[in-house]
Structure 1
Amino acid sequence: MLAPSWSWSDVDVAVPRGAARLPGIRMAGFGVRTSARVDIAMVAHPSITLLFDLSTAGGIECDAGQLRGSFVAGLLPGPLRAGGWSGECLQIRLSPVVASAMFGAAAELTGTVAAMDDIWGGDAMRLEEQLRAARTWDERFAIASAELTRRLDARPPIDPEVAHTWRRTVISRGRVRVDGLACDVGWSRQRLWSRFRSQLGLTPKRAAQLVRVDHAAHLLAVGHAPAGVAAESGYVDQSHLNREVKTITGITPAAVATAPWLAIDDIAWPA
């Protein structure tokens, strides 16, 4: 929940323009204009989250103070709170397809949160210093884009069948059947299940659940009634929606509907 003296009106949000946008990679910069420190719950999202702490003092605390500073959150990290946030930070969302190709770590990250240098390696501190020294968000986006592109070009891509399955899952908003996906790529259900899980860290069925819940969460956040959200998102009924949202996010649909993490998604992550 938000600190009592803090609201999104106290935060400047910047997004990349033009050349700074990369397929499967989304970035947003946040700058808090008040001295209030924030404790905010993160809601599960179908991406790997990189958060660069660019504050000048204090630093972001994550996972009940277990981590301080820049961190990486994998898919399905469980209930997660970022506290002590003040100053500036750069958040990068990576499709798990991109994250797996870039770090070879999407599978290992699923269900976990880790310090940035544990995932990024020895260059993490250098990159953070460059981001801090940049004068504008456009400069920061360009620096991050160049570094991400370099890392992506240095590693082989994941199986195109796995990448296709993820894209179909996202485009359909999780309303897909694994048998149909396997047929699409010419693999058996068992082979698709095995390769998808080994490269992205979760099964195709779990991926569909995560994407479906993300769609439902955004509908709830803009005020749609749970019963209507359940029908639009492909759930059998409202109780099915309740169970799946609680399983994926760790909180109820009512709590998701008022989650501050989703309150400015249309600004930070425009469709």
Structure 2
Amino acid sequence: MGSGVRVRHDDAAVWDVARPARPGRMAGVTMAGFRDRGMTPAGLRLIPHPAVTLALVFGAGPVVVDDAGRQRRGSLVAGLAFGPARVRRAEAFECVQVRLSPVVARAVLGVRPADLDGAVVALEDLWGREAARIGERLGGLSSWEDRFALTEALLARRREAGTPVDPEVAWAWHRIVAGRGRVRVDRLAAELGWSRKRLWSRFRSQIGLQPKRAAKLVRFDHAVHRLAAGQDAAGAAADCGYTDQSHLHRDVVAFTGVSPAAVAGAPFLAVDDRAWAWPRNLR
């Protein structure tokens, strides 16, 4: 697996998980490796996260994701706050999964997160034949260490050639993340010296969500990780700044389509602390 990479093989886990032994050099980018153990269930629900997710799939078997009735196959990109999506088929696959802060996603992907419109799209639709070539190169490597290095080099080249977001927009995103979603949009605008309308327009165009919905997504992410860790819904709601338990319930259903009790057992949340060992640096 490579001496610099840590791999977890838990008997009850859906996937073997690999992670780099140290943080990468690119701010706003984290990655992990996943290998199917023949236990990925059909209909597995994907959980939205406050990052744009890039899944570089390789291996013998297919990965098919159903997003609002549209099937996507192979390597994928999931936009911020995508609608309820499910894995329809996943067999004998491996992938490098990358979480891109929306501050860097525009430069890396070559499209604005807003252009993804909260959907799951095939990477081939964005990068053409390059998507297949990347999968072939990853599959030809024998260690996760080499795969992480290849992926980081690819992303670094694309970021250098891409278009960055406005520094004011990046600052507003950082403040939302640092405040765990408990930030007033009008206060952000005032600190920038912008009107609320200007902040809303620039943020929506470059990040992909309205500032208020971005804050809601960040708060949701903290809440569902508390639920996955075993905290009760009332406690998670209070700790994460919801007005009450029913407020948390509405947000969880809106983002996932299921109740807080159901989302707490999601396999993607169960492996989060192992796969993404470094602090969730979305800046």
The alignment's TM-score, normalised by the length of structure 2, stands at 0.88
- Superposition pairs of residues 131-170 of structure 1, within 5 angstroms: 131-170=138-177
Aligned mates of 1:7, 1:187 — CA distance in 2: 53
Note if 1:236 corresponds to 2:243: yes
Residue 140 of structure 1: how far off its partner (Å): 0.4
Partner of 1:82: helix, strand, or coil? strand
Which of residues 173, 188, 213 is equivalent to 2:195?
Answer: 188
Query: Aligned pair in 2 of structure 1 residues 61, 198: CA closer, same or farther (>3 Å)?
Result: same
The alpha-carbon distance between structure 1 residues 10 and 250, as it changes in their structure 2 partners (threshold 3 A), is closer
Q: Residues 37 and 83 of structure 1 are in contact (CA less than 8 Å); yes or no, is this contact kept in structure 2?
A: no
How do 1:171-250 and structure 2 match up within 5 A?
A: 171-250=178-257
**Does the 8 A contact of 2:31 with 2:99 survive in 1?**
yes
Say yes or no: does 1:83 pair with 2:104.
Answer: no
Taking only the aligned residue pairs, the percentage that are identical comes to 51
SS of the equivalent of 1:81 reads: strand
Write out per-residue CA displacement over residues 56-114 of structure 1, whole angstroms, 9 at most, x where no aligned residue: 13x00101671221111111211111232233111111111111222232111132111
More helix by share: 1
On the 8 A contact 1:20/1:142 being kept in 2, the answer is no
Mapping for residues 17-28 of structure 1, pairs under 5 Å:
17-18=21-22, 20-28=24-32
Give TM-score, length-normalised by structure 1. Answer: 0.92
SS at match of 1:202: coil
Q: Equivalent of 1:42, from 40, 46, 49?
A: 46
Q: Measure the CA separation in 2 of the matches of 1:111 and 1:117.
A: 17
Q: CA RMSD in A?
A: 1.8
The one-letter code sitting in structure 2 at the alignment partner of 1:237 is D
Query: In the TM superposition, what are the counterparts of 1:89-104 in structure 2 within 5 Å?
Result: 89-102=95-108, 103-104=110-111
- In structure 2, the residue corresponding to 1:9 is in which secondary structure? coil
Match of 1:3 in 2: none
Distance in 1 between residues matched to 2:250 and 2:70, nearest whole Å: 29
SS of the aligned residue for 1:235 comes to coil
1:122 is displaced (CA, Å) by 3.4
CA distance in 1, matches of 2:141, 2:242: 46
Task: Check if 1:254 corresponds to 2:258.
Answer: no
For 1:234 and 1:179, the matched residues in 2 are separated by 18
Show CA shifts across 1:170-226 (max 9, x none). Answer: 111100000111122221111000100111121000000000001000001111011
